[in-house]
Amino acid sequence: MNNNTKLSSFTVYFASVVSGFVIMGVELLAGRLLSPYFGSSIYVWGSIITIFMLALSIGYLLGGRWSLRSPSIPKLGILYAVGGLLLLPLPLFSEAIMEALFLRIEDPRYGSLVASFILFLPSTIVLGMIAPYAVRLLTISAEETGLTAGKLYFVSTLGSAFGTIITSFYLVLWFKLSMIFSYFILTLILFSMILYFITMITTRAEQ
C-alpha cells in the first residue's frame, strides 16, 4: 500500500468517525428539540429512535446499492455535503414546524413521530449511506470485505460513542441547540471538501 492509498484510507476511516459522531449527536439533541412541544416521555424517545433506526436501515440499503456504481471518494464527499444541507431545517425552521404540528396533532405520541419523520428522516438516510459506501471504497478484495467492514463499523461506532458523551456532557452546556446543529452542518460540509481535496492531492501525486 503506497502513501497515497494510506492517506485516502485514513481519510475515509476518520470521516466515518465524524459521521458516527454527528448521527448520534443529532439523535441526542432531537429529544431536547422536541421536549418543549411534546414532552420527554418514553413515547417521544420511542418516536425518535424509531425514525432514526428506519432512516439508517434505508440509508444502509441505498448506500450499498450506490456503491456499485463507480465508487469514488468525491462521491462519498457528496453524501457528507447533502447530509449537512438536509440538516439545515433544524436550526432554521424546526420551531415553526413543531409549532404547526403541536397545534394540529394533540396526541404527543403521533406529534413527536411526525415531527421526527419530517425533521430527521431525510438527513439520517443520507448519513446512513456513508458506512456501506465507505466499506466499498476501502475493500481491496472479496476476502477482505468482512475485515474492512468490521474496522469501519468499529471506528464509526466509536465516533457515535464520542458524539454521545461530548454532546450530552459538554456541548449542550456550552451552546444553544441551534448553534450545535450549525456546527454539525459545517463539520459535514467541511469533510466533504476535505475528501474532495484529498482526491485532488492523490491524483496529482500519481501523475
Q: What is the mean pLDDT of residues 62-67?
A: 90
* Tens of pLDDT, residues 185-202: 999 999 899 888 887 776
CATH architecture, range 3-206: Up-down Bundle (1.20)
> Exposure string (b/e) for 164-175, b if CB count within 10 Å is 16 or more?
beebeeebbeee
The domain ranges of the chain are 3-206
pTM metric for this prediction? 0.89
Residue 205 has pLDDT above 60, yes or no: no
Q: How many other β-carbons are positioned within 10 Å of the β-carbon of residue 90?
A: 24
Mean pLDDT of 76-94: 92
Note the pLDDT of residue 102: 86
Between 127 and 141, where is the model more confident? 127
Instruction: Say which residues have a Cβ less than 8 Å from residue 201's Cβ, sequence separation at least 6.
Output: 4, 7
| pLDDT recorded at residue 48 | 95
**Cβ partners under 8 Å of residue 171, min gap 6:** 25, 180, 183
Average pLDDT, the chain: 87
